[in-house]
Chain A
Amino acid sequence: NAGVTQTPKFQVLKTGQSMTLQCAQDMNHNSMYWYRQDPGMGLRLIYYSASEGTTDKGEVPNGYNVSRLNKREFSLRLESAAPSQTSVYFCASSGLLAGGTDTQYFGPGTRLTVL
């Protein structure tokens, strides 16, 4: 049981290049999320997917697109990278805790630098 996995772990892009960040979870969770974390800004939600086949914008969606490929996989695409997108990106999935409520479990993160 690997939990939430993300690839790649590190990436350096030039301005204008595109790339896709991959995320997969093996916990049979319905909901998945993409966050970015910047110094002093905390975790900010980019997009989320409540279930397979649905996606919704979060707090900072501009410059990003997502695909919920199946229940396990949720990818984040940068079509034309900009230096402002230099950040650490975390994928998370949401599952039940004992007691009936749910919370989020995070992947290891992707550290992206855009030059």
Chain B
Amino acid sequence: QKEVEQNSGPLSVPEGAIASLNCTYSDRGSQSFFWYRQYSGKSPELIMSIYSNGDKEDGRFTAQLNKASQYVSLLIRDSQPSDSATYLCAVRTGANSKLTFGKGITLSVRP
């Protein structure tokens, strides 16, 4: 069974710090990796996607992928209180567009 694990959390960081969110996956055939942000009472929204080993940066967000270690992470620099949310890691395996989601990590940024 394909699994996506997000074991660390909840996470609390002070405003301006770097928040590091981690995710591991079980299926070595996984091809695409996504981070969704979900505010309380709202639906998940896509914030980052990554497909190749290494880092991908978008503003204050950096996604990191290591396929050999089956590990994907999200770094949030200069964390803001508005970043307080649950972050869901999602993994796509195979030709169809189904995603497997982790259970999420709740981030709290303290002013």
Contacts and interface: CB of A to CB of B under 8 A. Distances in A.
Interface of A: 31, 33, 40-43, 45, 48, 50, 90, 94, 97, 99, 101-109
A104 B103 contact: no
Contact of B46 (A33, A99, A105, A109): A105
Contact of A104 (B99, B102, B104): B99
A104 B42 CA distance: 15
Contacts of B90: 103-104
- Residue with the greatest number of chain B CB neighbours at <10 A, chosen from A48, A102, A104: A104
Interface of B: 31-32, 34, 42-46, 49, 51, 88, 90, 92, 96-99, 101-104
A31 B43 contact: no
Given A103-B34, A107-B43, A42 B97 contact: no
A90 B44 CA distance: 9
B43 A108 contact: yes
B51 A99 contact: yes
Nearest to A102: B97
A43 B101 contact: yes
A103 B104 CA distance: 17
Contacts of A107: 43
A104 B43 contact: no
B103 A106 contact: no
A31 B101 contact: no
Given A99-B51, A101-B92, A102-B97, 18 more contacts: A31-B97, A40-B103, A42-B101, A42-B104, A43-B44, A45-B98, A90-B43, A90-B44, A94-B97, A97-B49, A99-B49, A101-B49, A103-B34, A103-B97, A104-B99, A105-B46, A107-B43, A109-B42
Contacts of B96: 31, 50
A104 B97 contact: yes
B43 A109 contact: yes
A109 B44 CA distance: 10
A103 B44 contact: no
20 contacts: A31-B97, A41-B103, A42-B102, A45-B98, A48-B98, A50-B97, A90-B44, A94-B97, A97-B49, A101-B31, A101-B32, A102-B97, A103-B90, A103-B92, A103-B97, A103-B99, A105-B46, A106-B43, A108-B42, A108-B43
